[in-house]
Amino acid sequence: MIPNPSSLLLFISAALLLLVIPGPAVFYIVGRSIGQGRSAGLISALGIAVGSLVHTAAAAVGLSALLMSSAIAFAGVKYLGAAYLIYLGIQKFRREEPFELDGNAPTVKLNRIFAQGIVVNVLNPKAALFFFAFLPQFVDPNRGQVAIQILFLGVLFALLGLTTDTFWALTSGTVANLFRRNPKAMRTQRFVSAGMLISLGVATALAGASPRK
């Protein structure tokens, strides 16, 4: 069971807007591309995507079990998730992410880079919280099969992320030079990303507050 078309379109739009703005995963991928070539960056992106699938599976199991125990608790998670997205946006406004690239990094085998990409994402508690906060905003319990809806959305998010991360890996040199030479670009991307997170949190909270027809 997939979400209704309007929710799906909103999800894809929100996901793409969030994914095209550089974040820690993008910086990791770009760093690998600069340090060891585009192939390393592409393998890193694939590892990050697999890590996203792990978070998706965890979210599907946990949130579907929560819905079975209490619809009110599930609604509470959605509101808390919206609040967490707003919190992430505020934190992004306040904190500047480092963008450190080492072109002289030692060579690492591609299979190890792939494994590191998975570990980097899976062991990132912020990534886990993001999936628990983001995915439920687009799930409709009235359509049934919450776990399937979450899995569908999570896999779609991972595929969209792999697409945008591939772009960053392939254009890593240009991206790195842009951020090195233009600190204003870093500030701009931070403000845009923060604004989108806050807007998404507010929008989903207000949508959740609307009475069902």
Give yes or no for residue 212 having a pLDDT over 50. no
Q: Cα(102)–Cα(100) distance, rounded to whole angstroms?
A: 7
Residue 10 lies in a domain: no
In 103-182, where does DSSP find H-type helix? 110-122, 125-134, 146-170, 172-181
pLDDT exceeds cutoff 60 at 5: yes
- Residue 211 per-residue DSSP state: P
The verdict on residue 83 lying in a domain is yes
| CA–CA distance, 207 with 191 (Å, rounded to integer) | 24
Listing DSSP states for 19-69 in one string gives: HHS--HHHHHHHHHHHHH-HHHHHHHHHHHHHHHHHHHHHHHHHHHHHHHH
Task: Tell whether 213 is covered by a domain.
Answer: no
* HSE of 53, CA atoms in CB hemisphere, 13 A: 11
Q: pLDDT for 140-169, tens place per residue? A: 777 778 888 889 999 999 999 999 999 988
pLDDT tens by residue, 100-148? 555 555 567 888 889 888 887 887 767 777 888 888 888 877 777 888 8
27-31, 48-52, 72-76: least confident range: 72-76
- Tokens 């687009």: give the residue: 138
Q: Are 24 and 97 in contact (CB under 8 A)?
A: yes
| Range with top average pLDDT, 1-10, 54-63, 84-93, 103-112 | 54-63
Look at residue 15 and tell me if it is in a domain: no
- Identify the domain containing residue 180 by its residue range: 23-207
Tell me whether residue 4 is in a domain.
Answer: no
- Number of structural domains found in the chain: 1
Q: Quick check: is 9 in a domain?
A: no
Question: What's the pLDDT at 210?
Answer: 39
Average pLDDT, rounded, for the chain: 77
